[in-house]
């Protein structure tokens, strides 16, 4: 790959950004006086602050380079990750699950498992989450290094270490508080820095309709421009996936598993000032989530439209003979952005990666400190000791992520890697949480062994396909499939196995008394009395609005 030079103005903008986020970490340190400030940002955020941070924590490498690259690879189907693969789950979290999470005053998702089931289920999930978080964190570092390597010509090692240390400093200084502050700044920089790519692409090609027409002309038999109309036959869409795989694997298991149980995003809602703000957090975020395809998916489609036109001179980079799909967005920035804007574009990418990285690290330090360190290693830890451990685990987590970044580098596309990890951990956890929250007779033994079986089976399916012990069609129920389709289906089977094992074991093991489950399980908990609240202030009102927009978008791009 060749480095793309930056002008002095670009450098100034990048340096201002780094100085700004580090400065915020230093500025907020004086307000981080106890463990609640460090791990939960003092529980004083409005729904807007928590909502934007909720979304921004998810705006890591996955959402920017990965999704644009995947759109180049799979076409419009990648938009499913933003719509059916996110919105129903976010609304379900806000309406149904948040009251149990927020009202029980837990510090983390494993903390809920401890209250609902027992200590061993909590520790199991805590360890699995910690490992997953550090692996995902490695992807963020890898993607950051790709940008720095592509644009600045830095080598991988220097890029990863420079980016990681910046995040380590500001998160270690003031924990979730600085992570949320910087995530919101990053949210705006991402929009201002990257939306212009889509605007310029449309200006160059002519219109969105012209982009779609070029794609249909380039690929008349395999649709790259539709969402559902080509999903009955997997051979007719770019992702080679059947609609059932999208609905069951992505729309149900992977999506609900991520958005309702992944502490990385849910932690932002825990920082809200009251229950209403906590419920509004994912609902507000859902509107912005639905808008993101106008940055990443549209940019990916523009990249395809340009690459099939020889006159445009646009081609993705090649890395050791392999097409580097993740280079699509950086190359579009280089194509359209003059000096100054290039600096903003690079800053937007860096902001995305650092938001994702900080999100992972702040979630990791909380789960490590509360659910592993205090639960297993030092049960009598003082507040001061926990605060100290939060800072130490921040630095330790960043160092471990550096190691995992090199593993991420070996995958052809970072998105496939990410989905593989989610289907190991989040998919079975969602079955455990769903059953635990809505069925009172699910037992601690059922939850624990269901979770173990679900995780092991998902991992086994991944290995079995990777080492060709079984053919992938055995999992995807189709003779033609992609890695992405395999991820969807593997998540579905892991969820199903976990749910069945949990139910069967629960039927034969000792149940918890109902009085211990009040506030934790639906049916045993008093419903929220909101009869006197005006309808326009109810979270349900905004959830219905969001649902209407979601349905309209799916019809529009059917």
> Are the C-beta atoms of residues 282 and 259 closer than 8 Å to each other?
yes
Interface stretch with other proteins, choices 13-21, 123-131, 145-153, 275-283 (CB under 8 A): 13-21
| Nearest-angstrom CA–CA distance, 227 and 82 | 12
**Rounded to the nearest whole angstrom, what is the least distance from the CB of residue 533 to other proteins in the complex?**
23
Q: Which of residues 356-385 bind other proteins (CB under 8 A)?
A: none
Please tell me whether residue 5 binds other proteins under the rule CB under 8 A: no
Of 487, 365, 367, which is closest to residue 420 (Cα–Cα)?
A: 487
Cα separations in angstroms, 338 against 20, 371, 372:
23, 49, 49
Of 142, 501, 168, 90, which is closest to residue 361 (Cα–Cα)?
A: 168
Please tell me whether residue 232 binds other proteins under the rule CB under 8 A: no
* Positive or negative torsion for Cα 58, 170, 105, 527: negative
Which of 16, 376, 504, 555: binder of other proteins (CB under 8 A)?
Answer: 16
Please tell me whether residue 246 binds other proteins under the rule CB under 8 A: no
**Backbone phi and psi for residue 155, each to the nearest 5 degrees, phi listed first:** -80, 160
Alpha helices in 206-327 (DSSP H): 208-218, 243-244, 255-261, 263-270, 275-291, 296-307
Which of 44, 120, 374, 538: binder of other proteins (CB under 8 A)?
Answer: 44
Cα-based torsion angle of the residue sequence 345, 348, 353, 356 in order, rounded to the nearest 10 degrees: -160
Which of 128, 189, 402, 433: binder of other proteins (CB under 8 A)?
Answer: 189
Q: Which of residues 283-312 bind other proteins (CB under 8 A)?
A: none
**Rounded to the nearest whole angstrom, what is the least distance from the CB of residue 56 to other proteins in the complex?**
11
Cα-based torsion angle of the residue sequence 525, 527, 529, 531 in order, rounded to the nearest 10 degrees: -170
| Nearest-angstrom CA–CA distance, 43 and 46 | 9
Q: What is the token pair recorded at 174? A: 């003031």
Q: Which of residues 461-480 bind other proteins (CB under 8 A)?
A: none
Q: Which of residues 152-181 bind other proteins (CB under 8 A)?
A: 177, 180-181
Interface stretch with other proteins, choices 8-16, 151-159, 414-422, 477-485 (CB under 8 A): 8-16
Nearer to other proteins, 329 or 341 (CB): 341
Please tell me whether residue 29 binds other proteins under the rule CB under 8 A: no
Nearer to other proteins, 183 or 371 (CB): 183
Please tell me whether residue 42 binds other proteins under the rule CB under 8 A: yes
Q: Which of residues 46-105 bind other proteins (CB under 8 A)?
A: 46, 49
Please tell me whether residue 270 binds other proteins under the rule CB under 8 A: no
Please tell me whether residue 550 binds other proteins under the rule CB under 8 A: no
**Rounded to the nearest whole angstrom, what is the least distance from the CB of residue 2 to other proteins in the complex?**
15
The angle, 0 to 180 degrees and rounded to 10, between the axes of the packed helices 444-466 and 483-508 is: 150
Q: What is the token pair recorded at 523? A: 């049916």
Q: Total residues contacting other proteins (rule CB under 8 A)?
A: 39
**Rounded to the nearest whole angstrom, what is the least distance from the CB of residue 45 to other proteins in the complex?**
5
**Rounded to the nearest whole angstrom, what is the least distance from the CB of residue 181 to other proteins in the complex?**
5
> Are the C-beta atoms of residues 338 and 329 closer than 8 Å to each other?
no
Interface stretch with other proteins, choices 107-115, 187-195, 367-375, 548-556 (CB under 8 A): 187-195
How does DSSP assign 44-106, residue by residue?
Answer: -B-HHHHHHHHHHTT-STIIIIIHHHHHHHHGGGGGGGTTTTTHHHHHHIIIIIHHHHHHTT-
Nearer to other proteins, 47 or 140 (CB): 47
Nearer to other proteins, 88 or 345 (CB): 345
**Rounded to the nearest whole angstrom, what is the least distance from the CB of residue 317 to other proteins in the complex?**
18
Please tell me whether residue 26 binds other proteins under the rule CB under 8 A: no
Interface stretch with other proteins, choices 197-205, 277-285, 364-372, 508-516 (CB under 8 A): 197-205
How does DSSP assign 312-337, residue by residue?
Answer: G-----EETTEE-GGGHHHHHHHHH-
Which of 1, 3, 31, 315: binder of other proteins (CB under 8 A)?
Answer: 31
* Positive or negative torsion for Cα 346, 357, 136, 40: negative
Give the H/E segment covering residue 546: helix 539-556
Please tell me whether residue 340 binds other proteins under the rule CB under 8 A: yes
Q: List residues binding other proteins (CB under 8 A).
A: 9, 12-13, 16-17, 20, 24, 27-28, 31, 37, 41-42, 44-46, 49, 177, 180-181, 184-185, 188-189, 192, 196, 200, 203-204, 334-341, 344, 347
């Amino acid at each position: 790959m060749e480095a793309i030079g930056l002008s002095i103005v670009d450098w100034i903008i990048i340096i201002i950004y780094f100085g700004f986020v580090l400065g915020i970490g230093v500025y907020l340190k004086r307000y981080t006086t106890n463990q609640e400030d460090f791990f939960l940002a003092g529980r004083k955020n409005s729904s807007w602050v928590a909502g934007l941070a909720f979304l921004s924590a998810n705006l890591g490498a996955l959402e920017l380079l990965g999704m644009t690259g995947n759109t180049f690879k799979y076409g419009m189907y990648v938009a499913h990750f933003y719509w059916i693969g996110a919105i129903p789950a976010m609304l379900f979290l806000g309406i149904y699950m948040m009251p149990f999470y927020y009202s029980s005053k837990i510090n983390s998702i494993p903390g809920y498992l401890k209250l609902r089931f027992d200590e061993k289920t909590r520790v199991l999930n805590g360890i699995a989450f910690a490992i997953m978080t550090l692996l995902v964190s490695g992807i963020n570092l890898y993607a950051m290094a790709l940008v720095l390597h592509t644009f600045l010509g830095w080598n991988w090692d220097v890029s990863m270490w420079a980016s990681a240390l910046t995040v380590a400093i500001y998160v270690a200084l003031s924990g979730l508080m600085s992570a949320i502050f910087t995530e919101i700044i990053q949210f705006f920089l991402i929009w201002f820095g990257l939306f212009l790519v889509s605007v310029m692409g449309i200006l160059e090609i002519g219109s969105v309709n012209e982009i779609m027409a070029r794609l249909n002309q380039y690929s008349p038999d395999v649709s790259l421009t539709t969402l559902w109309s080509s999903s009955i036959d997997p051979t007719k869409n770019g992702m080679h996936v059947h609609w059932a795989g999208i609905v069951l694997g992505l729309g149900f298991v992977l999506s609900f598993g991520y958005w309702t149980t992944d502490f990385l995003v849910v932690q932002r809602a825990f920082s809200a000032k009251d229950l209403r703000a906590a419920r509004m957090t994912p609902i507000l975020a859902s509107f912005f989530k639905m808008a993101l395809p106008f940055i990443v998916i549209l940019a990916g489609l523009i990249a395809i439209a340009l690459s099939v036109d020889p006159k445009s001179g646009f081609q993705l980079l090649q890395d050791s003979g392999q097409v580097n799909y993740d280079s699509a967005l950086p190359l579009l920035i280089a194509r359209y952005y003059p000096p100054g804007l290039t600096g903003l574009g690079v800053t937007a990418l860096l902001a995305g990666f650092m938001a994702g990285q900080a999100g992972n690290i702040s979630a990791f330090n909380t789960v490590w400190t509360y659910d592993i360190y205090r639960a297993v290693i030092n049960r009598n830890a003082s507040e001061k000791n926990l605060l100290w451990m939060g800072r130490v685990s921040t630095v330790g987590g960043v160092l471990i992520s550096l190691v995992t970044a090199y593993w991420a580098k070996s995958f052809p596309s970072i998105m496939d890697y990410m989905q593989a990890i989610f289907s190991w951990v989040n998919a079975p956890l969602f079955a455990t949480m769903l059953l635990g929250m809505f069925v009172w007779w699910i037992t601690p033994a059922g939850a624990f062994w269901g979770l173990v079986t679900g995780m092991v089976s998902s991992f086994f399916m991944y290995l079995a396909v990777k080492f060709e012990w079984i053919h992938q069609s055995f999992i995807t129920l189709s003779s033609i499939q992609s890695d992405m389709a395999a991820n969807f289906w593997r998540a579905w089977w892991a969820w199903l196995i976990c749910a069945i094992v949990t139910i069967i074991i629960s039927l034969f093991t000792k149940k918890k008394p109902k009085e211990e489950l009040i506030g934790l399980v639906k049916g045993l908990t008093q419903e929220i009395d909101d009869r006197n609240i005006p309808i326009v202030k109810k979270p349900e009102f905004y959830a219905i609005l969001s649902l209407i927009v979601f349905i309209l978008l799916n019809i529009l791009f059917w």
